[in-house]
Structure 1
Amino acid sequence: MLRLSILEQAPVSEESAPEEALRNTTRLAVEAEKWGYHRIWFAEHHGSEALASSSPEVMVAHVAAKTSRIHVGSGGVLLPHYSPFKVAENFHLLENLYPGRIDLGIGRAPGGMPGATRALNDGMRWDLKDYPRKVRDLIGYLTDHLPDGHPFQSVHATPLARRLPDIYLLGSSDGSARVAAETGTPFMFAHFINPNGGAEVVRAYRSAYQPSEAFPEPKASVCIFVVCAETDQEADRQASTLRYWMVKASQGRSVPIPETSKAVHYHPAAWERDQIKENEARIIVGNPQKVRIELEKLASMYQTDEVMLITNIFDFQAKLRSFELIARAFRT
């Protein structure tokens, strides 16, 4: 049976505040556990008025304390900004606090506009070329097995944990997939960011996979925007706020999720209509049965037994209902 999981960015709705978005995120995690979702991950975004999840490690600790079974993790820690040693210590600590429930998703995106990226690095240069080395070092610290000759071979990322967190590399292109294959690490493709060529990227990842002690077999999954309601019409109405927000985000505007009536009555420019049409490949919208069919098609395309869902819409109650309806659809 297809496993369902959630990626949460803690979206801030118009006329709302980040603290409300974070309360909603916590409630979503509690309800998702009841509905049988396998894991919930928290994103890392900086300098954003629209997304309140700037520190996934803090969100993981908070939500893991409010739940008891669901896997809780990062989607993901943006490793180019940080010391692999510090990330390993954070997640060893989390794994000791919540054994068997912690996931470590690792990303390489900047996580914000250029100014926020520079501030995050205290003005120092941000270099993606060092990302593969940082991934290898992070895995070495997590497994307490750095290679001979490593300058920090004698250093241990404490507190050591009896079990490794589930590690995933996240990406929307073949770059992170190659690193995941080379390091013997599971891979999550961000279809909600890039709907083109993902299945081919995942096939190439599996073909090039180099088994590791922790992960002897390749493991891949996919994440997509989803909006579900009792009827196609209601799902489409709720999804209008996501479509509006996505268009503004493509313009480099970090704006809160718009109120539903504002989005429904918005008249996009011609080029925005083209953008909205292109974005439809990143979204599944519809009634529960339709959504189930489309998710199963997506899982088949990616040859995965797990799909991660993200739902950034204005109405939080409608968002909760969307996740509940999808969970029920997969139980029937």
Structure 2
Amino acid sequence: MTLTLSVLDQSPVADGTDAAQAVRDTVRLARAVDPLGYRRYWVAEHHGSATFAGTSPAVQAAVLLQHTRHLRIGTGGVLLPRHDPVQVAETFHLLADLHPGRVDLGLGRAGGPAFTFPEKVELLRRSLALLRRARGTGTGPGLWLLGSGTTAAKLAGQHGIGYCAGHFLSPEASGPALAGVRAANSAAPLILAVRVFVATTTDRAQAQAADYLLWRSRKDLGAQEPLPRSGQAARHRWSAAECERAEQNRRAIVVGDPDEVSHQLTGLADRLGVDEVMVNTLLPDLADRVQTYELLAGAFRLRHRSADDIDGRLQDEYGSRTR
């Protein structure tokens, strides 16, 4: 199987830094990833978080579009229950007018009353359709629903909207969710979002994963903290509860050297029937995050794009020419 790889960046805040540094690092990471052959670069929406700095993915997307040439820039995702769907549609259609064929709008159902999500999705879809007719140019953004269960998946299948399964949030639910979308609409685009730790050696990757598992375990137990610095897990006196949570959370990540990780990701994608994997890594240091995506690009032999290669801007999600 030939996999397409994409990037999910949650703008993580490292211990000893701040949110301003985190969002600047998101721009730096996008610029580093842009020529490596990845298809998409999505940013997330979080509020009141000590770990994640991205509070406005629409603003981040606008900035990233200006700093990249090849990647499809999008959101993973806009938390639609918090927002006016008409305003979201107008914002992202405008971005798509400015950057034809390069904008994705991924929608999540967290952040507000979940029961409003289907109605808001429908209003947003109608608003995008009206904008396309009124403006007379472009195709608007690619539309995606995000989920870690079956609710958003069913909605995506009903409407033929692309669906991204959050495997790193709920690995056991990814298979049923993707199968549900496929059963309702076999043509709906599918993505699997996976949390990955890859380094030049397996031992180094395992050490990176241990630091993440320390953070994740403490988060599960109620601690809201920035990402721990490299090596902190090795010095930490783990409680029994933290160890138990780490063992549970280990099942949701992929860890190893480039060959091991490429083999695991290919097998996972093959088993779940997807041809695009969106890679997320939670590391405190920007240099390590850059290396993660460089190593994966090499392992999967992604096509490196030169400054003059604008092929990614010529076609929208469905293959129609936009420029």
TM-score normalised per structure 1: 0.87
Q: Hey, what does 1:106 align to over in structure 2? A: 107
Residue 199 in 1 paired to residue 163 in 2?
no
Q: Answer whether contact 1:92 1:158 (CA < 8 A) is retained.
A: no
1:189 is matched with 165
Partner of 1:294: 264
4+ long deviations beyond 6 Å: none
Q: 2:199 touches 2:295 (CA, 8 Å); kept in 1?
A: yes
Question: Is contact 1:92-1:159 (8 Å) kept?
Answer: no
Shift of 1:281: 1.5
1:12-50 Cα shifts (integer Å, max 9, x gaps): 100112222122111111111111111000000001121
User: Which runs of 5 or more structure 1 residues have no equivalent in the other structure?
Assistant: 111-125, 146-155, 212-216
| Residue in structure 2 matched with residue 14 of structure 1 by the alignment | 15
Structure 1 contact 169–188 (Cα < 8 Å) conserved: yes
- Structure 2: tracts of 5 or more residues without a match: 303-323
Partner of 1:120: none
The match for 1:61 is: 62
Aligned to 2:216: 246
* Structure 2 Cα separation of the partners of residues 248 and 160 of structure 1: 51
Please give the secondary structure, in 1, of the residue aligned with 2:110: coil
Amino acid at match of 1:186: G
TM-align CA RMSD: 1.7
Judging changes above 3 Å, is the alpha-carbon distance between structure 1 residues 270 and 160 closer, same or farther for their aligned structure 2 residues?
farther
Q: Is the 8 A contact 1:94 1:102 kept in 2?
A: yes
In 1, are the aligned partners of 2:29 and 2:286 still within 8 Å (CA)?
Answer: no
- Residue identity opposite 1:264 in structure 2: A
Partner of 1:72: 73
Q: Which residue of 2 aligns with 1:171?
A: 147
Structure 2: distance between partners of 1:279 and 1:157: 46
Q: CA deviation at 1:184?
A: 1.5
1:308 is matched with which residue: 278, 287, 291?
Answer: 278
Q: Is the 8 A contact 1:93 1:159 kept in 2?
A: no
Higher relative contact order (CA 8 A, sep 6+): 2
| Aligned-partner residue type, residue 325 of structure 1 | L
Q: How many residues of Structure 1 are paired with residues of Structure 2 in the alignment?
A: 301
Partner amino acid for 1:323?
Y
Separation in 2, partners of 1:315, 1:21? 10
Report deviation, 1:221: 1.2
Cross-structure match for 1:228:
198
**C-alpha distance in 2 between matches for 1:180 and 1:166:** 13
Correspondence for 2:313: none
Q: Does 1:268 align with 2:238?
A: yes
